[in-house]
């Protein structure tokens, strides 16, 4: 089974911006292969690769025109297989990004579907039967072909929704979830999964996983759909890992996903930590972690076996460094790398790459563009990302003189990079810190600092205390009454102490106690 997931630490690669190997200004697969040793050295043993398939790139590749072909700008299918082989040789697993909710308007299924004559793909997408009749609550694409009807959209106007049926059917043009059309779409998605799993990938991060079935307010139709896919995988590819972009672990883990992300949308209060006006992980000390922890505890109660992942960021949100200073990011990473669930590090967050404001949108990025800038490796041309002339780069790079780079941080023992690396290696050797070990919150009070929790497993118990605020803080609770520190396993920004049940912790610091 997927035992590797129990210890996995992921690295998310946005292929456009990681490493360009041929000087065209856009990252590519051979470039990624050339940096696998870096990822391994950081301590990550799994990769999530954003979509790398044929696409007009109106949404950075989330508008797939052919699920079976790698976009030429990234290389060939052979290059992708080679990435799997090279990654596996280093003990690194690779998840591809599966976009099952929609395709690009350029996909041949859609071109066939637009035709007025009935054909195999007429119901692959969701079409109304009268172009003049507005559709309540769903965006549509209209007047684009001789077919009389409007086509339901999933995201941008160039991303028509694939047809998985409606949970509650209210119009004659809506199919049920077990209609032949909905079943045919599921089979088509299984074929895509089969193809890449056979080629050597280790599973998928699934895009917009929670919204496949329409008019499905409680997600029951979509949950049932994923259960079917999961049982197909259990039969044919029992090793394959499925991770959802859903943002509601109680639903997605029930649906058969191994892990769900907490995200900048959804009910998790993820933004309270790093991305709101007063984030918890800020030395300003005005944040509030309470609602996040309460929701997290509730999700864990419901999620049973599955993993809940708190990513450092991703290609859809502003970077950690947007609101957090380097000091803040150090305490944030103690949290990110000591919580249950597999950690996900968005490329460049390990060096605190900045979010660039006000960039002109590239490939449907809009305000996301500033979080997708090319990786900063060293002091060379384009920070070692590409040999292209700077205005050919996929997205403009951070041009500030003091921009963080891998090379400068690797040489500095106090850098964020080295802290992230130390934390990952600590997680590797301490089972209590790993993905499936337990957690017991000790201190997470409304508008108060610090945050404290015990990570536990049969072999050991560790108390993690994190105080991002610039004030020294202390606390005592029923749970700390008889706690005795047997030593500090890790600290950043100063060491805390436990005496007579009182936990004291310096400003902008975190300590992991052996208890
Ligand atoms: C997901 C992706 C995002 C994309 C959208 C539509 O949220 O992460 O980048 O634009 O889905 O596919």
Question: Mapping DSSP to helix (H, G, I), strand (E, B) and coil, where does residue 42 land?
Answer: helix
pLDDT tens, position by position, 235-278: 999 999 999 999 999 999 999 999 999 999 999 999 999 999 99
User: Contact 204/193 with Cβ under 8 angstroms?
Assistant: yes
Query: Which residue of 62, 100, 160 sits with most ligand 1 atoms within 8 Å of its CB, as the best mutation to test the pocket?
Result: 62
Q: What is the pLDDT of residues 464-511, one digit of tens each?
A: 999 999 999 999 998 888 899 999 999 999 999 999 999 999 999 999
- Report whether pLDDT(431) > 80: yes
* CA 358–ligand 1 middle distance (angstroms): 20
Q: From ligand 1's centre to the CA of 424, what distance in Å?
A: 28
| Structure confidence by residue, pLDDT tens digits, 119-173 | 999 999 999 999 999 998 899 999 999 999 999 999 999 999 999 999 999 999 9
Q: pLDDT class for 451, splitting at 50, 70, 90?
A: very high
Mind listing the pLDDT tens digit for each residue in 374-384?
A: 999 999 999 99
Is 1 a residue whose pLDDT tops 70? no
Query: Which atom of ligand 1 lies nearest, measured to the CA of 364?
Result: 10
Nearest to 204 by CA among 134, 257, 262, 276: 257
pTM recorded for the entire structure: 0.98
Atom of ligand 1 nearest to the CA of 62: 12
Q: What is the pLDDT of residues 367-421, one digit of tens each?
A: 999 999 999 999 999 999 999 999 999 999 999 999 999 999 999 999 999 999 9
User: Mean pLDDT throughout 103-129?
Assistant: 98
Cα 32 to ligand 1 centroid, rounded to whole Å: 22
| Ligand 1 geometric centre to CA of 250 (Å) | 21
Distance CA 287, CA 344 (A): 23
Residue nearest to atom 2 of ligand 1 (CA): 207
> Who lines ligand 1 at CB under 6 A?
59, 62, 99, 155, 207-208, 245, 315-316
Q: What pLDDT digit, counting tens, does each position of 327-336 carry?
A: 999 999 999 9
Alpha carbon of 49 to ligand 1 centroid (Å): 13
Atom of ligand 1 nearest to the CA of 316: 9
d(CA 340, CA 138): 37
What CA–CA distance (Å, rounded) separates 93 from 70? 19
Mean pLDDT of 174-178: 98
The chain-wide mean pLDDT, for the chain, equals: 97
Using alpha carbons, list the distances in angstroms from residue 231 to 15, 167, 216, 235, 418.
31, 21, 21, 6, 41
């Amino acid at each position: 089974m997927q035992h590797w997931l129990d210890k996995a630490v992921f690295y998310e690669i946005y292929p456009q911006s990681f490493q360009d190997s041929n000087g065209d200004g856009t990252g590519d697969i051979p470039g990624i292969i050339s940096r696998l040793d870096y990822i391994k050295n950081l301590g990550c043993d799994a990769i999530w690769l954003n979509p790398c398939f044929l696409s007009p790139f109106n949404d950075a590749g989330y508008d797939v025109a052919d699920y079976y072909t790698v976009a030429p700008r990234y290389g060939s299918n052979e290059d992708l297989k080679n990435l799997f082989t090279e990654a596996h040789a280093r003990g690194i697993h690779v998840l591809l990004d599966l976009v099952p909710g929609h395709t690009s308007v350029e996909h041949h299924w859609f071109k066939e579907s637009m035709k007025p004559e009935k054909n195999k793909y007429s119901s692959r997408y969701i079409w109304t039967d009268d172009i003049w009749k507005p559709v309540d609550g769903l965006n549509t694409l209209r007047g684009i072909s001789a077919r009389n009807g409007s086509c339901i959209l999933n995201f941008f106007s160039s991303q028509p929704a694939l047809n998985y049926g409606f949970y509650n059917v209210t119009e004659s043009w809506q199919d049920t979830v077990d209609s032949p059309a909905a079943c045919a779409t599921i089979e088509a998605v299984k074929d895509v999964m089969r193809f890449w799993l056979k080629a050597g990938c280790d599973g998928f991060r699934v895009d917009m996983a929670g919204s496949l079935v329409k008019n499905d307010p409680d997600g029951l139709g979509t949950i049932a759909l994923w259960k079917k896919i999961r049982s197909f995988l259990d039969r044919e590819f029992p090793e394959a890992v499925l991770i959802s972009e859903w943002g509601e672990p109680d639903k997605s883990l029930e649906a058969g996903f191994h892990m769900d992300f907490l995200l900048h949308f959804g009910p998790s209060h993820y933004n309270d930590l790093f991305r709101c006006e007063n984030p918890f992980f800020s030395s300003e000390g005005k944040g509030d972690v309470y609602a996040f922890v309460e929701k997290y505890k509730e999700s864990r109660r419901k999620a049973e076996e599955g993993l809940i992942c708190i990513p450092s960021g991703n290609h859809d949100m502003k970077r950690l460094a947007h609101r957090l200073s380097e000091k803040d990011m150090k305490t944030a990473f103690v949290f990110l790398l000591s919580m249950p669930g597999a950690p996900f590090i968005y490329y460049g967050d390990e060096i605190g790459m900045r979010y660039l404001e006000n960039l002109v949108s590239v490939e449907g990025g809009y305000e996301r563009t500033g979080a997708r800038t090319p990786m900063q490796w060293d002091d060379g041309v384009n920070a070692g990302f590409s040999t292209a002339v700077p205005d050919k780069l996929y997205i403009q790079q951070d041009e500030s003189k003091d921009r963080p780079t891998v090379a400068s941080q690797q040489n500095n023992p106090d850098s964020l990079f080295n802290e992230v690396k130390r934390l990952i290696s600590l997680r590797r050797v301490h089972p209590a810190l790993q993905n499936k070990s337990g957690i017991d919150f000790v201190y997470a009070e409304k508008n108060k600092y610090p945050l404290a929790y015990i990570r536990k497993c049969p072999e050991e118990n560790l108390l993690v205390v994190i105080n991002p605020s610039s004030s020294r803080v202390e606390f005592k609770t029923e749970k700390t009454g008889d706690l005795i520190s047997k030593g500090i396993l890790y600290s950043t920004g100063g060491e805390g102490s436990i005496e007579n049940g009182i936990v004291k912790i310096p400003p902008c610091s975190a300590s992991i106690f052996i208890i």
